Structure 1
Amino acid sequence: MFNGDYAVVFYDIDHFKNINDKYGHNCGDAVLKSFAGILKNLTRKEDVIARYGGEEFIALINYQDEIEVERYVKRVKKALSNSNFIYKEANIKLKFSAGVTYRNKYNSFQEAKKRADELLYEAKHKGRDRIILDNGTEI
């Protein structure tokens, strides 16, 4: 299914707890479904996208050139920034942070996944609403 040339992308919705606290868990569930739908629509059928837990999602993205992965995460960021989530009377602007690794730079999938998670938390620590790739690129 996958060779060594795939990226691991860890997504986390920024300030998700605030959405749950302010608008309720039904709204939070709707936001998760909407975010998942955007990811599904922008991710090719041969790639993998899954909810990892809470408000985190993970994607495994095949690529031939690393720029393809950058373009993919930029499309996700643009699609989300152009979307308004309406729940009852609330108009919610969603943002996310992400960490991206290229599997072939690591000894195992577990190492690549761990590093993608570390990059995700670095993105959160730097102020959220950003994507950090393991080649040093920040989007």
Structure 2
Amino acid sequence: MIIPLLIAPPFFLYLLSKLRQLAIAHEQLMVIASTDGLTSCFNRAAFTTLVDAYLDRVDRQEKGGEGALLVMDVDHFKNVNDNFGHDMGDEALKLIAQSIKSTLREVDLVGRMGGEEFSVFLPGIAPDRVVMVAERIRETVKAVNFCPQGIPCNLSISIGGATYVRTASFSELYKLADKLLYDAKRQGRDRVELCQLGSGPPLAAAH
């Protein structure tokens, strides 16, 4: 009886230690599964799920709300890869992701939707403030100092955004924001196009 009693405490501590390690490992795996490895933004699946879950909760608890979804694409990114290589293209994406994050609040979400496309969800923000946030993102990216192989290379992004002041879904917001992103590209790139979901004319057309 004495030997089991002597063994039990160390074994119990060992078991607790292993359980903590497993919990930490599980948390790390969850982070890896939901995060884009290059930019440390949420990946597309995680970003979409989080935004949809937020919008669903707000709809059920508050019967609507306000906020915005921005979709952005790096202008002429193929030229960066072609002229400097994919490694430098990756560095450019990292710098752009860092620049986007630096302009946002803690509650805002940033996702890499694939390739050179990013998306930002701005919960609980009035439509008239979204213009300022989007412009700040655009200007911050444009100010990035990117000099691959010592050669200055200007970076810029085009932004399309959908604001909402009622019940909305991710798919509705993304469809409108994506359309406005391509409007921004067609109109010369390095600009912002915003519109309120369910309304007519754009809120802003800036460059």
Distance 1:106 1:14 in 2: 32
Deviations 1:52-103 (A, max 9, x none): 0000000001244212211111111221232221222121111110100013
Q: TM-score, normalised by structure 2?
A: 0.63
The answer to whether the aligner puts 1:87 opposite 2:87 as a matched pair is: no
Q: Which residue of 1 aligns with 2:82?
A: 21
Structure whose residues are more often helix by fraction: 2
The answer to whether the aligner puts 1:138 opposite 2:171 as a matched pair is: no
Q: TM-score, normalised by structure 1?
A: 0.91
Structure with bigger gyration radius = 2
1:85 aligns to what SS in structure 2? Answer: coil
- Alignment CA distance shift 1:106-1:121 (3 Å): farther
- Indicate the larger mover: 7-16 or 39-48: 39-48
Q: Which residue of 2 aligns with 1:75?
A: 136
The answer to whether the aligner puts 1:51 opposite 2:112 as a matched pair is: yes
- Aligned-pair CA distance for 1:132: 0.3
Distance 1:126 1:31 in 2: 24
Identify which of 100, 103, 117 aligns with 1:42.
Answer: 103
- Indicate the larger mover: 84-93 or 118-127: 84-93
Structure whose residues are more often strand by fraction: 1
- Alignment CA distance shift 1:107-1:81 (3 Å): closer
- Alignment CA distance shift 1:25-1:64 (3 Å): closer
- Alpha-carbon RMSD across the aligned residues, in angstroms, is 1.6
Distance 2:168 2:141 in 1: 33
Query: Structure 1: 5+ residue runs without aligned partners?
Result: none
Structure with the bigger RCO (C-alpha within 8 Å, sep 6+) is: 1
Counterpart mapping for 1:122-137 below 5 A: 122-135=183-196, 136=202, 137=204
